Amino acid sequence: MNALINSTSAELLRLRKWSATWVVVGAWMALALAFGYVFNYVAYVSGEENFTSDGGTRAGLLAQMLPPALPDILVQGLPMFGGALAMVIGALAAGNGFGWGTWKTVFTQGPSRLATVGGSLLAVTLIVVAMITATLVLYLGVSSLIAVTEGHEIAMPSLEAVAKAYGTGFLVLEMWAVLGFLVGVIAKGPSIAVGLGLVWALVVENLLRGVGGLISAVETFTHVLPGTAGGSLVGALVGDQSGTPGVVTTIGGEQALITVAAYVLVAVVAAVVLMRRRDLA
């Protein structure tokens, strides 16, 4: 246990001091702010309709930006952008160690591979926690600010709704992050892992879902894919009428939860087992 804590703190130190981590997290925050509030607010102020407002009224648009709508807004962007960026973080954290020779250096220091890889996964998980927490804080601030600016009194969403959204958001991001980690371990490098992972998450799954409409075997197959699972988990919370890319209601919330949790478990176990057994040449 101590070894695991030590290696988590070591990994956190080097991930925290890595500009790539901040670039990815920063990119997410910027996207989250832009798609969550900025575009809608501009549309609201200028009186134009925005693509996320699905033809609603100006009042409806404003309602989406006030604190009570926060839980929905928090998770909407996660299946697509958030997941993809979390995957990049996982793939970078695992993949670069091979080319740089840092896995080798760390292993020769003595910690067990289980503790080392486990610590690295935990550190990535903590970054995911930081990511979703920072988003929540940002959204709380921005939605409150909009409420004050527009002369509404600040009504907070229920704690339960926030907790549910937070948990959902964490799970979706964590799934993509550990999948990215696993692909980084398999590919022994970040570039193939990031490239293939993004093409898969952003393109292939969507195409497959399209093909699935024509061929039922493919449709059944898409039901177990991570994108469908993550999208459906969010969809179970917000419904699919929002029109946000990646948010679907293909499978039920419960099944989505089980699938997402299974992906997290399988990816973590597979990454640890692979790294333990592998000859590090």
Q: Map the footprint of other proteins across residues 65-104, applying CB under 8 A.
A: 100-104
Cα 252 from Cα 227, distance rounded (Å): 14
> Is 263 a binder of other proteins (CB under 8 A)?
no
Query: Rg of the Cα trace of the chain?
Result: 20
Q: Which is nearer to other proteins, 51 or 100 (CB)?
A: 100
Q: Are 7 and 107 in contact (CB under 8 A)?
A: no
On the 0-12 / 13-18 / 19+ scale of CB atoms within 10 A, 8 is: buried
> b vs e for 168-204, b when ≥16 Cβ sit within 10 Å of the residue's Cβ?
bbbbbbbbbbbbbbbbbbbbbbbeebbeebbebbbee
Q: Is the dihedral angle over the CA atoms 158, 160, 163, 165 positive or is it negative?
A: negative
Structure tokens at 146: 């909009």
- Which residue among 1, 17, 159, 214 contacts other proteins (CB under 8 A)? 17
Q: Which is nearer to other proteins, 18 or 221 (CB)?
A: 18
Minimum CB separation from other proteins for residue 119, in Å? Answer: 8
> Is 106 a binder of other proteins (CB under 8 A)?
yes
Cα 176 from Cα 78, distance rounded (Å): 10
- Which residue among 110, 155, 159, 216 contacts other proteins (CB under 8 A)? 110
Q: How distant, in Å, are the alpha carbons of 36, 39, 151, 152 from that of 174?
A: 21, 27, 37, 35
> Is 279 a binder of other proteins (CB under 8 A)?
yes
Cα 50 from Cα 41, distance rounded (Å): 9
Angle ∠(236,238,242) on CA atoms, nearest 5: 125
Q: How distant, in Å, are the alpha carbons of 21, 64, 80, 99, 213 from that of 234?
A: 25, 17, 11, 36, 21
Q: Which is nearer to other proteins, 46 or 108 (CB)?
A: 108
Minimum CB separation from other proteins for residue 100, in Å? Answer: 6
Q: Which is nearer to other proteins, 112 or 220 (CB)?
A: 112
Q: Which is nearer to other proteins, 113 or 152 (CB)?
A: 113
> Is 14 a binder of other proteins (CB under 8 A)?
yes
> b vs e for 37-65, b when ≥16 Cβ sit within 10 Å of the residue's Cβ?
beebbebbeeeeebebbeeeeeeebbebb
Q: Which is nearer to other proteins, 26 or 141 (CB)?
A: 26
> Is 133 a binder of other proteins (CB under 8 A)?
no
Minimum CB separation from other proteins for residue 41, in Å? Answer: 36
Pick the piece of the chain touching other proteins (CB under 8 A) from 16-24, 35-43, 126-134, 139-147: 16-24
> Is 120 a binder of other proteins (CB under 8 A)?
no
> Is 221 a binder of other proteins (CB under 8 A)?
no
> Is 18 a binder of other proteins (CB under 8 A)?
yes
> Is 9 a binder of other proteins (CB under 8 A)?
yes
- Which residue among 19, 47, 160, 216 contacts other proteins (CB under 8 A)? 19
- Which residue among 38, 107, 126, 218 contacts other proteins (CB under 8 A)? 107
Query: Which chain residues interact with other proteins by CB under 8 A?
Result: 3, 6-7, 9-11, 13-14, 17-20, 100-112, 115-116, 279-281
